[in-house]
Structure 1
């Protein structure tokens, strides 16, 4: 007697063979003991650090809490924010001009841009601040008028460039040298073939720059630019040499008067962490905005990532428990 096995119809898969040794195997999720050990070690170290911060009375957290929102500290924070915003705008505006000069076909513009970047990246920032603060020694007054011609107005240098003005000039011009390289690298990261294709379609050069080059260049510019702004937040602390009342100088004056050195340094550290966190959140959303069209799915927000990690962790624990229960049967 012959048994006829029906042939699978088109569009349906053949049934898997039965009775093979693989049918008796039990699928168990892979275990990673090294990862669990590393997690445990890091958790213990983190617990030790937190315990030290909480139990060591020399941190003087009551003093930190008392001075965290003290009026002079808040004024210092506001001065730090002002310095950062003004110098960031000045630095990236001038840096963009320098980057375009470096990319131009004019040998003179290229040489001037390269020379500016070379000089301002070579001289230490603290030295630049002191030079700008003492500009009145070289020029008692600043004249405004025609080049090599009569002047229309004259301003006393000391009244124009005070401590805040010297800090803005020093930080802004120093930042422009680095911003020029950031912007230039972002523009060069755009594929030249896209510009050639746009030119062949008759798209004007200005529209090429605003609709093709800029959106793609921003993906490369934003992360590095925000890192520079974060560095500016912390770099403003160096203007203490000018006795300008920003955050770090204010803190140093207070701990010089009260002898509470460590608590006041913690106050400054907390404020710098807060300011950096705010800029980091802004950076994340700006990067997410310019990522549209470059990736199929936008990167998740921090809350979405946290929820996904918790869900995946709970699912993994549930899978391991179910596998253990089946193994004990």
Structure 2
């Protein structure tokens, strides 16, 4: 028989809060291989999204010449040489299934690499962070300004106005680009400028402008951690061979200062490569410490790898103390065995 336990008022405080308190994240600027990959993919994704509606494709007389067009009045979907009718909806079903399988494949190979490099939330948030750093300065400057008792100076107000103005402009163009996929883009741009566009166009631009501004400017990592279901799903799909951003504790522990580590190595004793500089935490867009092991908050963006590599180069130690790896290889290195990687395996082949 189940026993009902009653919590006394003086014990209620021991239960703990139901929700974690919001802590503002101040990602620091970093340079390196994975940062360059992210810049390149961001430019590609934004370029495709913003300018694809203006690409032309000749389909002959009487047919629309927009390369990608969702023609709702004509019940057609055009994608370059492809033309789909409503009764061919099974093609969309196939594309959705293919997209899901591709997402599963990416997860099997590299964990949440979709989240770290290609997710729209990540792409636009990264862009908003770049604008924020450009206007307000890097991590330390932003933290100092937010913590200052005299932060509401004319200079600070001007910075905030400039930052939010650029954010709103980007968000507005994001919403505007979306509606261009549903009608002839140059014609709609002209109608929007002259205030002759349909009301529904202005409504959707306003909706998408607002959501982009709020999600990328304010909610940021909260979307990845709390709103998005993918981190919960991918945890069930991954396996022991997936390459996740991993702190190689077999090499990093025990943590100590550079001076102390050099002294121990001079005596022939083991010393960990991690110097507790917290650079991996400073650059993380979700504000986690990757050295604590796999975490739901980690989006596998690899920026902590770049930050750690920069520190290792400065202190004369081998890079990739943090790397895309798996626990199997960490255990193998502890046992003195070489690491092995299995990108091609039954899961990824299927």
Q: What TM bracket, shorter-length normalisation?
A: under 0.3
How does the TM-score come out when normalised to structure 1?
A: 0.23
Query: In terms of Rg, which structure is larger?
Result: 1
The structure with the largest helix share of the pair is 1
